[in-house]
Structure 1
Amino acid sequence: MSDSAASTSVIELTGPDHTYLHLDGKGRPMHWAMVLELDTEGDRLTAAQVRARVAERIGLFDLFRVGIAEGRWRAPRVVLAENPDLDQHVAGADYATPEDLRRRLAKLLETPLARPNPLWHLTLFTPSGDGPQVVALRVHHALSDGIAGAAFAALLADGTPDELKEFERFATSPRFRTPPIDPEVLKESKAAFAEQHAGGRTGRGWPKLTKSGRREVALLSVSTRDLRRAARKHNASVHEFVLAAIGTTLSTIPPSTGKPAEVIRVTLPVTNDPEFRHTGNAVLVSPLNLLGSETDIGRQIERARSELATIEKRRPELASAIPDGGPQAPWPVQRLIANAAMAHMSPDVHIGINPGFSRIREVLGKRITELTALSPLAGYSFSVTSLILGKNTSFGVVIDPAALPPGYAEKFVEHFERVLREESPAA
């Protein structure tokens, strides 16, 4: 980068970035992952080829060299690596079956990224028999949210220098800083947050996240066209329909053998950057209450529509925003406050519904056939993250198998796919 001021703005962490350092802890690493499935045509890639491509690209953006020292009970120090050791950042591994691959992906979610090295890692998975190669990219949430995380595609993606410029806004724009919030807007936001929180206080029974650190994952891809047709069938938006379908599925397969929860408290990520032009974190989370024992998707859609209308009009997510330039407590106190805030929010599940941005769909000559996001478990025991990207919409499920029944992630995907299929107009 030629602009030193822009470079500084990229590597100076902000309050929203710090949140994920506060929440990071033993048994709860705060990195997200992107899983890239590659087509099976032609020769397979090698880890050496991936490493060579990364070596070509590592100097494109300062963001790729940012690491963090300390950051748990001691204040973080940003470390900008001059020459990252790519043997530590790019690995190769084999897998035997799809089930084996899911276990290995879960292990990556359980394994913290090494500090103070740059906080990202790539693993190339190769099947021992038939099957696709898969690339797993992990990035610490303090470094980037999922939207700005598109920058890391430039480490691998095929493209000319001009084509790769599409990633610049996610790598060289200033780190997001929450602007001042109008007092009246903030007052309404806090009132809405309190009402949403109160609405999810009773009738709950979702298992809480444990300190085991164990993870289980499942992946699903569906036709975006079919998803939109199913939503239109119910005169619903895609967001309303996805939330309702998830609520229906969770109501159909409650994780405990007792009485199903009447209410499921959800954290729904929303961006505070309407221009989608930032580095770092611009994500806020809004509370949303789904029905926990309702298998009629029409009634689930009614609830989802009402909840999303509240979010749009009253912006309860701003109640947890961290405005830039405010007073700073000592770092250990900030950590205690952040964890107390998450405990107070006490979410049951996380649901992310995200747009995809990249028009580049090849890596080292191999077409990307599926792209799936996996989120960290930050205070909840179940997460499903959708990525709407062109013809396909993917769903990445992560659970805590010490809180939920082992196998629940795959069971959810099986029933969720059935709900989507039954609601499709073609069914």
Structure 2
Amino acid sequence: MSIEVLPWIEPVAAAAPLRERPWAFLALSDGSPQARWSYLAWEPEATVRLDPGGGDPFAALRGLTGADPLMSDVDEPPPFTGGGVGLLAYEAAGAFDRLDLPRATGWPDLFAARYARLLAFDHHRRRVLAIGGAVPPDPEAPEPGPPSEAFTPEAPPDAYEAAVAEVVARIGRGDLFQANIAQAWSGRLRRGADPFDLFTRLTEASPAPYAAWWRLPGAALVSQSPESFLSLEAEAGVRRVRARPIKGTRPRHPDPARDAALAEDLTKSDKDRAENLMIVDLMRNDLARVCRPGTVHVEALNALRTWPHVHHLESVVAGDLVDGVDAPAVLAAAFPPGSITGAPKVEAMKVIAELERPRGPWCGSLALLADGGAMEASVLIRTVGLLEDQEGWRWRTLAGAGITADSDPASERLETEAKIAAIRRALCGQQLEQVIESDRRGRR
């Protein structure tokens, strides 16, 4: 098999003809420095669906990768030239943490596939690499309207605020230090609309470095994630893993002065910096399970990252892997991501299971495991899970906030609504301000 260099095609346009094909997959980068490549794959060589109790999802991923990457004389080849793609549901953690987590109806612990033919889109050099003989589909330029008529909360605002207050009380009793608590929304796509319509609208309005669309049998994933969970690559002969947890959020504002003030407020917030630091410590502990002693360190702490709808604080934790540890073992050591569980992790997960319905794909991970050992895995925040039935597609999405001892329930609720704004608009065309005002009227 070879790599052929082709002229540039927009990844979304190339994927559009495959919108109804099961196992068609697009990992879409926004072209930022840490997210140079997008990948489009279809017609996998092998597929896996692992339901609860069906086995170890991380071992199943190991069976989809090869020891050696595709060799080519193309300069600057992509990190992923074939291998496994895996969607781990949040509750897959119960497979190894001995937690009796309830499962989301319709979602297995793992969807996975092996792809040997794919297109890699180089956003920096504006070229497409056809790998393994892949032939690009004839591109289309979809322009869908809002695919859903309603964006319905699964519980009233007061219920979410009560859950936050309960976590604050448990923190006060010393049960835990932090937990990420989410609220959920659900609905149906209009008849004739499909998940790719949502993906197109979402990525056009709010690009992200780890966006993804995956058309699965009877299900689909649409993600606009800004967060890398784990990346694994070789640097000067050393296999290095990095985690980039995001904690701390402020909404964007159309007025530049007000927007800058919100960003500054975030960087100076003791509460948000402490929240981030707790997760950094948790990720240091997780990576220490698979890294050489003394190599785990913090490369960046509380760095400001700005996206179209929110400001975030991001940290970077890195370490050098022990010989013999592969990408699935790294995933198993750190899953689910600490930024969306809390600390201590297992206790936080128990609290989450008490206060929320099962999450399913939201806050699980989507991982690309390349032949040869490299990996890029995202945290599935800003993510919609969709299931197909006789009436079409029903969707569900969530947004969470890290709850600490200083959390104010109403402020945390507003933070989740800021995080979900782009998905809300992509689904319904609604403005966040309209929804907040509607919530306020409902609370009077």
TM-score scaled by structure 1? Answer: 0.28
Normalising by structure 2, we get a TM-score of 0.27
Higher strand proportion (structure 1 or 2)? 2
